[in-house]
Structure 1
Amino acid sequence: MSDIIDIASKEVGYKASSGNKTKYSAWYGMNGAAWCHMFASWCANQADVSTSVVPKTASTTTGMQWFRDKGRFKTKGSYTPKRNDFVYFKSDGASHVGIVEYVSGSTLHTIEGNTSDAVKKRTYPLSYHTITGYGVVSDYITSSGDNSKGKNAKNNKGKEELNYLKKILDKNTDKKKKSKRKVKYKISKIRPGINLSVKVIVAHGTAKYKYQVQEGMKFSDERKGAPGKLTFTTFADNKRKITNGDAVAVIVNKRKFFYGFIFSFSPKTDGTLEVTAYDQLRYFKNKDTYISVNKTSTALLKKIAKDFKLKCGKLANTKYPVSRIDDNATLFDIVQNSLDETLIARGKIYTLYDDYGNLRLREPWKVNVLISGQTAESYDYKESIEDQVYNQIKLAYDNSKKGTQEVFVVKNSKSINQWGVLQYYDKVDSKKDIKLKLKSLLDIYCKSGKTLKFNNCFGDARVRAGCLVPVTIKIYDQKVSGYLLVDKVTHTFNNSQHLMDLELSGGDFDSSY
């Protein structure tokens, strides 16, 4: 796959002929019709971008809905668009689409077809009233990597996509082979509420104070895109001041649990003080532009830490070199984009987190605290085939030489008998490796969507987002027994009681890795 903007840049200045006819609409087969989306789809086609990444359509409504159905549509204000993303103008009577060239400050730069009957470069404020949102393309193609200059990209002709599909098949094959093995746990005994010791220490200037906190102190930790967050309520004390920027340390049963900084405090009429603190990852909400040329995620993270004066602990060597530009993006997104490329290339998941004042980058690690019906108060479980579930995959290829359309289908008859036909349909630009694509898509989508959350589990200070915990429980008609990945954990401390809520994925309980 190549860079769409590189293609679009060469078309700037092209004008429609009499009757609004263009080579883009002739390519699509609707010459004379409104051609803004046909231009965008044509550019993607010329860049060898698959129709599984960018829709081939003449309709802005259909195009925007296609991205929504794929879970790849971001509304205005919730996302900073990147080079090659599609921008949809579907508000206040507008019906238009453009291709994002780059973002500079609060200004969006685009290349668009059918704007004053020509291909032109345009600029808008990111808050422009007719912008509805963006179809995310940048994360799924190999860009030339420059959000301000159109350099030529390497044309990998879909190798990244195919490698990714192969890894999914290999992963699921390995999972099936291992599923018969019995999982053995060395489980730590949990004694909820017995001898629980929690110390909260605030450093104000050169002074350090121990604070008594009211019950209900919480610490939440997520695996992606959020800092560790601590909230507690204490009593205001004129002799022991608290202010923003003060460091906060929490020790649980002599174990270093949290280290961060106060970002807000709120005195109340009853003499209490509500405090919110975050760990170092709070600074990853900062935005910046980073250019990576054959730089591993580890090296990128070290560079960011140095630039923003953050402390690093042990960082796993991700080994995979990434080349890309992230312009006007949050540090969270910059690092995650690099980690996502590493995941596709190496099949390895890494979690960035703060370990008591030191940034850590780590593959999932096991914490042997059993989660079961005896150690959790309740669970929330949902199984659904409403969204992103397909048991019949149909891919169509337009053979221009023969003037025919070739259709390729694979299906799971057992699930069709149970659920009815749930069809995934798409057009492809090449028949190369089409059998692999069919099999991979069926393997990805032909399963119920499952989510699993546990509420009020017996707490353990070692449990962080990114770790693996053993789970054994019977839910409805199945038994869950294995290690699941912690996507989010919320620890709650009530006097002598320590509880935690967990959101889990992995196995059949998949979130987006």
Structure 2
Amino acid sequence: MPDRIASQSPEARLGVGVAMGTVLAGAVGFALIAPSSNEEPQVKGPVAQAQVERAHRSVAIGEKPEGYAVPIRKVEPSEAIRLALEQVGVKEGPDRQTKYHDWFVSTPNAKMTAKRDGGFSVDAYNGAEWCNMFVSWVGAQLGVKDMGWDAYTVQHAKWFAKKGRWGHKAKPGAVVFFDWQNGSGGGIYGIDHVGLVVEDNGDGTITTVEGNTNNAVEKRVRPKSLVAGYGYPDYDAD
């Protein structure tokens, strides 16, 4: 398995007591779900779900959601790739903390996703697996339209699918979701990890930039056979 996958108990991963289901951590992020990974994550009531859906709506150009550095705008894929590559070499600090954790915990989305995925404390995100926080941070720094933001890769992929922005073609700037065991055959619920596509190398591999890889942001070359699918932000090149 190319990247570290957490092996601690669910309680240790979250730092809080968990009584139901199984908490998936590793590169995935968080979600309190039933034991089968093919089942829907449990949502703690319709109000929590509605709050998350509002936070994940398609935000119009010029709006500035709380947590974004700039208003939503049309961004070229090269801008997202450049910012992501500038992060290469950023490593975890004490207690596995990064600036991506700091940012995510400060956003209203953290409260909503924590409520959606089991009602744990927002503080549980600190030092947690952070590949999806990294991707979300890139989008929020640039104001990328329809990049989405989450700490849990399965929910992020589901959001792209719901928006009609999910597919299987590697495009520069696409959000790439990996399933180490089954690739695209595992579907959305098999997703383990996420990054951004830098380029399709034309030889069955893609170059990516990923957070939470060997405790850092790294540029990698991955076989397409490990890809569960791609999410497509609404870039200016679309």
Q: TM-score range by the shorter chain?
A: 0.5 to 0.7
2:162 corresponds, among 60, 64, 69, to 69
Q: What SS does structure 1 have at the residue aligned with 2:95?
A: coil
Q: Which ranges in structure 1 are unaligned for 5 or more consecutive residues?
A: 144-340, 342-513
1:17 corresponds, among 62, 79, 93, to 93
Amino acid in structure 1 at the alignment position of 2:127? G
Q: Are 1:102 and 2:190 counterparts? A: no
1:82 corresponds, among 171, 187, 204, to 171
Amino acid in structure 1 at the alignment position of 2:209? I
What is residue 235 of structure 2 aligned with on the other side? 141
What is residue 46 of structure 2 aligned with on the other side? none
**Residues 75-474 of structure 1 correspond to what in structure 2 (within 5 A)?**
79-90=168-179, 92=181, 95-105=192-202, 106-128=204-226, 131-137=227-233, 140-142=234-236
Give the superposition deviation at 1:31: 2.0
Alpha-carbon separation, structure 2, partners of 1:56 and 1:7: 16
Q: What SS does structure 2 have at the residue aligned with 1:45?
A: helix
Alpha-carbon separation, structure 1, partners of 2:129 and 2:218: 15
Give the superposition deviation at 1:112: 0.1
What is residue 8 of structure 1 aligned with on the other side? 84
Identify the structure with the greater strand proportion.
1
Q: What SS does structure 2 have at the residue aligned with 1:19?
A: helix
Alpha-carbon separation, structure 2, partners of 1:8 and 1:91: 22
Alpha-carbon separation, structure 2, partners of 1:101 and 1:17: 26
Q: Are 1:40 and 2:135 counterparts? A: yes
RMSD between superposed Cα atoms in Å = 1.6
Cα deviation, 1:115-135, whole Å, max 9, x if unaligned, reads 01100001112223xx21111
Is the contact made by 2:154 and 2:191 (CA closer than 8 Å) also made in structure 1? no
Alpha-carbon separation, structure 2, partners of 1:99 and 1:36: 10
Alpha-carbon separation, structure 2, partners of 1:58 and 1:16: 16
Identify the structure with the greater helix proportion.
2
Amino acid in structure 2 at the alignment position of 1:59? Y
Give the superposition deviation at 1:22: 0.4
Give the superposition deviation at 1:136: 1.4
**Structure ranking higher on relative contact order (CA contacts 8 Å, 6+ apart):** 2
Alpha-carbon separation, structure 2, partners of 1:107 and 1:90: 15
Cα deviation, 1:7-46, whole Å, max 9, x if unaligned, reads 1011000001121100001100032111100000101111
Alpha-carbon separation, structure 1, partners of 2:170 and 2:142: 19
Q: What SS does structure 2 have at the residue aligned with 1:88?
A: strand
**How many corresponding residue pairs?**
134
Q: Which ranges in structure 2 are unaligned for 5 or more consecutive residues?
A: 1-73, 106-124, 182-189
Is the contact made by 2:153 and 2:191 (CA closer than 8 Å) also made in structure 1? no
Cα deviation, 1:423-467, whole Å, max 9, x if unaligned, reads xxxxxxxxxxxxxxxxxxxxxxxxxxxxxxxxxxxxxxxxxxxxx
What is residue 144 of structure 2 aligned with on the other side? 49
Alpha-carbon separation, structure 2, partners of 1:142 and 1:17: 35
Identity percentage of aligned residues: 38
Q: What SS does structure 2 have at the residue aligned with 1:127?
A: helix
Alpha-carbon separation, structure 2, partners of 1:111 and 1:91: 17
Amino acid in structure 2 at the alignment position of 1:9? L
**Residues 482-497 of structure 1 correspond to what in structure 2 (within 5 A)?**
none
Amino acid in structure 1 at the alignment position of 2:235? I
Report the TM-score when normalising by structure 1.
Answer: 0.25
What is residue 26 of structure 1 aligned with on the other side? 102
Alpha-carbon separation, structure 2, partners of 1:142 and 1:18: 38
Structure showing greater Rg? 1
What is residue 390 of structure 1 aligned with on the other side? none
Alpha-carbon separation, structure 2, partners of 1:118 and 1:37: 13
Give the superposition deviation at 1:142: 2.5
Cα deviation, 1:288-308, whole Å, max 9, x if unaligned, reads xxxxxxxxxxxxxxxxxxxxx
